Amino acid sequence: MSAGLAVRAERLRTERTPFVLATVVRTERPTSAKTGDRALVLADGTLEGFVGGTCAASTVRAQAMRLLESGESTLLRITPGPEEPGGEGLVTVSNPCLSGGTLDLFLEAVLPPALIQVFGDGPVAGALAGVGAAAGYDVRPAGDCAAPVLADAAAVVVATHGRDEEPPLTAALRAGIPYVGLIASRARGAAVTAGIEGAERVRTPAGLDIGARTAPEIALSVVAEIVSLRPRPAPARDGVRHETARHECG
């Protein structure tokens, strides 16, 4: 990868911007792309880098859009004619406007880890940072309950133990955060959420019932519940997919 493209990819990761990294892994001449050529494809269809001419680039762009939805990665073969099955995990696209060669590319979906925002600075909040990170989440401690709820959070957990719990819960519900949890007993949780609109969406006591007692165990139960409730995209069909490109080159 060129230095400029590598810097751009790292910036996208830092900014939590999803993209697909396309790498040419094999070519059959004649092709304008060479093995090792790479490009980044963003969610708006922008392609940065080089993986072939207009015909190849448009096919890569179309397949990348699908991968950004599924979160999967795949091997893509672009050929001007029909292709025999080559194995599981291969997507074959027939693009008759190619110059006559065949391209094999690895398309890697690079998605930001789901974000968990934790309000509070006690033992449970601290344990959530460690357990969540170990499970692959991006855990952001909010600390102050007056801090704004992050709009792209997958989960908001309030673990302030009785201090200013309503504001972050209300803000998370209004923002449509998929998982909103409150660390509290069942009785206290019901009392805290009684006057909050949409209180039925608040998970309290937060976490799966695993008999948790210590702060790390409670954190584990909460992360397990977040995992159990996360949306799961429909995977692509197993095996080889044969498709015909619907675009044409001018």
Residues 162 and 181 in one domain: yes
Residue 209 within any structural domain of the chain: yes
Q: pLDDT tens per residue, the chain (250 residues)?
A: 788 999 999 999 999 999 999 999 999 888 889 999 999 999 999 999 999 998 899 999 999 999 999 889 999 999 887 755 656 778 888 887 777 788 999 999 999 999 999 999 899 999 999 999 999 999 999 866 778 999 999 999 999 988 999 999 999 999 999 999 999 999 999 999 998 999 999 999 999 999 999 999 999 999 999 999 987 655 544 444 444 444 433 3
Residues 45 and 145 in one domain: no
Residues 132 and 96 in one domain: no
- Looking at 58, 87, 111, the residue that finishes a domain is 111
Residues 132 and 217 in one domain: yes
Among 250, 246, 227, 211, CA closest to 59 = 246
Residues 16 and 101 in one domain: yes
Owning domain of residue 43? 3-111
Among 35, 33, 106, CA closest to 67 = 106
The whole-model pTM stands at 0.73
- Looking at 68, 86, 111, the residue that finishes a domain is 111
Q: Looking at the 3D structure of the chain, how many domains does it have?
A: 2
* Alpha carbon of residue 53 to chain centroid: 29
**Euclidean distance between CA atoms 236 and 39, whole angstroms:** 23
- Looking at 61, 87, 111, the residue that finishes a domain is 111
Question: Which CATH number belongs to the domain containing residue 207 in this structure?
Answer: 3.40.50.720
Residue 120 within any structural domain of the chain: yes
**Euclidean distance between CA atoms 247 and 188, whole angstroms:** 60
Residues 31 and 100 in one domain: yes
Residue 46: CB partners within 8 Å, gap ≥ 6?
none
Residues 98 and 63 in one domain: yes
Residue 31 within any structural domain of the chain: yes
Residue 242 within any structural domain of the chain: no
CB 63, CB 107: distance < 8 Å: yes
Residues 135 and 223 in one domain: yes
